[in-house]
Amino acid sequence: MKLSDFDLMTHLIREHSGLVIPRERVCALEHQLARAARRHSLRCAEEIGHALSAGSYRELLDALCDELALAPAGFMNPSDQMAQFREITLPYLIKHRAVEQKLRFWVVGCGRGQAAYSLAMVLKETSELADWQLEVHASDRSGRALAGAEAGEYTQSESQQGLPIGLQLKYLHQAGDAWQVKDKLKKLLRFSNIDLLEPEKVEAKGPFDAVFCRGLLGHLEGETRDHLLEHLNQMTATDGFLYLGEGEASGPLGQRLRVLPGWPGIYRPAGDQEPPALEQVAV
Amino acid sequence: MEAREGRTRPIRPCQQRRMANLLEKSEEMTSCLIVDDSEAVRRVVRGMLESLDVSVEEAPSGAQALAVCKAKAPSAVVLDGRSADRAALDFLRDLRAQEGIDQPAVLFCPLEGESQQVREALDLGANEVLVRPFDRDLLRSKLTLAGVLQSH
């Protein structure tokens, strides 16, 4: 691909979805284009470029943006943040929600659902929460990814990525060559098709006790990114938590979020009120 | 079945040592024994392990594998479970019955994930299960879950 073609493509993609593709990713984009070309019976990546710049193939552009935005999959990923959530954040929330006995979470850009199901497994494995009301909201702008997440079906290989065998046998069952998430886990989840570039359309209303949005803000820039971060912050309870990718909290609001000491990527929301300090919890 | 699922195994002293080693970023290289009767499969798995900076031993049978475990104390065993016979499970039982050796983490590699064979392997002390076919990334993921490799 010529760099001028690449620049044209990335411009179209940014206009359409807000995604920013840096020049280092020219190889990744070519690869995705070749796959998209195959699916749409076009001869080559260049032909896609011409079709897109001529204004046709809007759905192709949709599909392309979906693929480029897909976060790295795998269960319990990243394992250190999941361990932190289980051992520090969750005991804190259990203590601070002892009266309501209700916890709500939001996984933003859930892709095919591994992160949301992982979160649900951690909740199910916490015996103190047995009688609590638990909700895991999961959203993605890609209808295709979301359909996959709702189906909760994974290949043999996907089902093993990051998932201990004990949890796999407990919450998934083998159905032919695939593995299917069991209903007892699925019933914690609420899926919705949300384009975060239009946050006013978000149906899942806050506040959430923790919001997870990894590997999405890093693909955005400028106002688009600032607005999304602002929205995520608003949707997080005053004493809640924001799980982002490392270094993804930037811009004016990013400066005001307080990172958990020792946990890059995990933040307390910024607001008028100070959340109760985490140190008050014995862990 | 229900009661067994999700159970956490007590951490064995050898695993504690291994974790301590990982924490200290010990210079000692992680070592792994491949137990498989197919030379071709051993060679493929060896390639994956060596690319993960793991030193490799091989054994074509349970008896030879047990001898290697006694002599070389590998950190982990990648145990083939393709065959329907009980050779792999017998080896696992014999291995866990050994006293006075550094017990390795055992990664059991069957063809089916949900089977009586897998449940037995877990009961006999397999630490993790890696269903075939697998690639280097899955192998790394499971060795990390078994506490043999550090998460990256």
Complex ipTM, two decimals? 0.77
**With a CB-CB cutoff of 8 Å, which residues 75-134 of chain B face chain A?**
112-114, 118, 122, 128-131, 134
Residue located via tokens 């990256």: B152
- Distance (Å) from the C-alpha of residue B146 to the closest C-alpha of chain A? 9
Q: For residues B58 and B77, what is the distance between their CA atoms, to the nearest angstrom?
A: 10
Kindly list the residues from chain B whose CB atom is less than 8 angstroms away from the CB atom of residue A166.
5-8, 122
Question: Which amino acid, residue A176?
Answer: G
| Strand B55-59 to B105-110 pairing | unpaired
Q: For residues B127 and A165, what is the distance between their CA atoms, to the nearest angstrom?
A: 9
Question: CB B138 to CB A157 under 8 A?
Answer: yes
Per-residue pLDDT of chain A (283 residues), as tens digits, is 777 878 888 888 888 777 888 777 777 777 777 777 777 777 766 677 777 777 666 777 777 777 676 655 799 998 889 999 999 999 999 999 999 999 999 999 898 999 999 999 999 999 999 999 999 999 988 888 899 999 999 999 999 999 999 999 999 999 988 999 999 999 999 998 887 766 666 666 779 999 999 888 888 888 888 988 999 999 999 999 999 988 888 888 888 898 888 898 999 998 877 777 775 444 4
Tokens for B56, please give them: 């490799």
Report which of A188, A219, A175 is spatially closest to residue A124, judged by C-alpha positions: A188
